[in-house]
Structure 1
Amino acid sequence: MNRFILPLVFGIVGTAILVSLGNWQVRRMAEKEAFLADIDARIGDQPVAIPSKPAPERDRMLAASVTGTFTADELHFLVSTKQLGAGYRVVSAFETDDGRRIMVDRGFVPIPDKDATRFTGPATVTGNLHWPDERDSYTPENDVDGNIWFARDVPVMAKALRSEPILLIARDMSEKDTGVTPLPLDSSGIPNDHLEYVVTWYGLAIVWMAMTLYYLRRTRKTKKA
């Protein structure tokens, strides 16, 4: 009997640990889904005026609308999307009717259209405020002279465009620029891999228990022999 106790305890404890890890991932998945739902709801809220002093922590992804004038000053950010391929995000300086100067991420243009002439003039822009965190140790330095940028760093962009450190990601504009495809904010870029972990931990628990039962069965047969 002693030959069975240790493997049985080992099998039960191991299975319990793996199941508990699976249960934890189920809870994390529910939390993540609720978090993503909150983000989607915030992005789709009724647009409001841009706050006088927006804060990244409080106003990130705030739905906002502004009326003013697009200038010809713009920055080009190298980007690649699954649907559109390689190209540039166009971030333009935008002078509001109440005397502010902010930045608007108008969207995507193909590489050949980097220096094409784009719409300038009066427009109303609806979108979401954002402070992207895109720079890490692998991000190249911006080619300022060639106007090829690699990360949307709001304070650095604002200095280059002589604007307030406010970036509005366009979702809709009253004046359509047919050469630019908007890339509005959504939650699709936020990973949610918890279902894979749930399957992994529960699968390992099943395998662990099956291996334990197989070992006990073989041990029993060996003893009888």
Structure 2
Amino acid sequence: MTVNHTPARSQTASVALIRNWPVTFLSACFLPLLLALGFWQLDRAGEKAAILSVIDARLGAQPRKPADLETLQTFTPVRLMGFYTGELLYLDNRTRDGRAGYEVLQVFVSGGERWLVNRGWVPVGEDRSILPAVSWPLAAKWITGFLHPVDENGPAAAAVMEFEAGTGVEPESLRRIQALGADVLAAMNVDETGWTIRLSADSDTALRTGWQFVNSQPERHTGYAVQWFAMAAALCILWLIAATNIPAVLKKNNYKRGNGS
């Protein structure tokens, strides 16, 4: 009677392809994690792209007076006629191109309503104890910008306002703040304590704007995803080399084919 041992030999050969089970186990644990991180970054890239698409659509609309808006929404373009008062806030620890500076916020009165307008960025001077001088027109002006919310649960105004001394101006008109919250706007007696207006770059009273709409661009997340997927591919290659006999088997098969056997 003839017994066929081919299945047993085939099973033994397949098992023998893996020679390092601890490395195989670790690779099996890390590979799904690396892939999950890669797909997570792709999802983040999609979310940021969707946000930027909404922002572009809103900013592309015709500017309107805030009084004509049914509801106030972030990035809604606005246009107001009015005048600046001498009430300034310097929002500290703001950077542009790696340089330290301030964002200058100033009260703007339009139609009897007081708004806090973020005019943009100015660099820190050589003497940090002296705030940089900022000029503004005394006559009525049109300003254009977009609505931007503030943190309703921000720090109390008394805790973040630091009045400057020895600057030649009244303390109430020149202030340095470390954070901007609703309580700060309430202390400035503005009408909308949950909103500021950020000036557009083409507004003639704007300083340096360079507004950052999202904390990171979609391309950055896509780059991270590529890195995670590359690490997953590298892990697979290392597993094949370090934990299996597959390279040796392939080399042996190629050698046999080269010798015609």
SS in structure 1 at match of 2:240:
helix
The one-letter amino acid of 1:73's match is: E
SS in structure 2 at match of 1:61:
coil
Q: Using a 3 Å threshold, how does the CA distance of structure 1 residues 13 and 111 change in structure 2: closer, same or farther?
A: closer
The correspondence of residues 38-57 of structure 1 with structure 2, limited to 5 A, is 38-51=54-67
Q: Using a 3 Å threshold, how does the CA distance of structure 1 residues 43 and 78 change in structure 2: closer, same or farther?
A: same
Q: Using a 3 Å threshold, how does the CA distance of structure 1 residues 53 and 79 change in structure 2: closer, same or farther?
A: farther
1:217 is matched with which residue?
Answer: 245
Whole-Å separation in 1 of the counterparts to 2:34 and 2:121: 45
TM value normalised by structure 2: 0.65
Whole-Å separation in 2 of the counterparts to 1:132 and 1:107: 16
Q: Using a 3 Å threshold, how does the CA distance of structure 1 residues 84 and 197 change in structure 2: closer, same or farther?
A: closer
The correspondence of residues 168-183 of structure 1 with structure 2, limited to 5 A, is 168-171=197-200, 176-177=204-205, 181-183=207-209
The one-letter amino acid of 2:114's match is: R
Gaps of 5+ in 2: 1-11, 126-130, 165-174, 253-261
SS in structure 2 at match of 1:127:
strand
Q: List per-residue Cα deviations over 1:122-149 (Å, max 9, x = no partner).
A: 1111101112459989xxx524322111
SS in structure 1 at match of 2:185:
helix
Whole-Å separation in 1 of the counterparts to 2:40 and 2:186: 45
Q: Which of 39, 46, 70 does residue 84 from structure 2 map onto? A: 70
Q: Using a 3 Å threshold, how does the CA distance of structure 1 residues 23 and 109 change in structure 2: closer, same or farther?
A: closer
Q: Using a 3 Å threshold, how does the CA distance of structure 1 residues 134 and 84 change in structure 2: closer, same or farther?
A: farther
The one-letter amino acid of 1:46's match is: Q
The correspondence of residues 139-178 of structure 1 with structure 2, limited to 5 A, is 141-146=159-164, 147-153=175-181, 155-164=182-191, 165=193, 166-171=195-200, 176-177=204-205
Whole-Å separation in 2 of the counterparts to 1:169 and 1:93: 12
Q: List per-residue Cα deviations over 1:82-101 (Å, max 9, x = no partner).
A: 348333222111111x2211
Whole-Å separation in 1 of the counterparts to 2:247 and 2:134: 76
SS in structure 2 at match of 1:35:
helix
8 Å Cα contact 1:18/1:202 also seen in 2 = yes
Identity among equivalent pairs (%): 24
The correspondence of residues 49-198 of structure 1 with structure 2, limited to 5 A, is 49-51=65-67, 59-83=73-97, 85-96=99-110, 98-112=111-125, 114-133=132-151, 141-146=159-164, 147-153=175-181, 155-164=182-191, 165=193, 166-171=195-200, 176-177=204-205, 181-183=207-209, 185-187=211-213, 189-190=215-216, 192=218, 193-198=220-225
- What is the RMSD of the two structures over their aligned residues, measured on CA atoms? 3.7
Q: Using a 3 Å threshold, how does the CA distance of structure 1 residues 151 and 172 change in structure 2: closer, same or farther?
A: same
Q: List per-residue Cα deviations over 1:123-178 (Å, max 9, x = no partner).
A: 111101112459989xxx5243221111122x22322321112311111576x34x
TM value normalised by structure 1: 0.74
8 Å Cα contact 1:130/1:169 also seen in 2 = yes
Gaps of 5+ in 1: none
The one-letter amino acid of 2:124's match is: I
Whole-Å separation in 2 of the counterparts to 1:213 and 1:204: 14
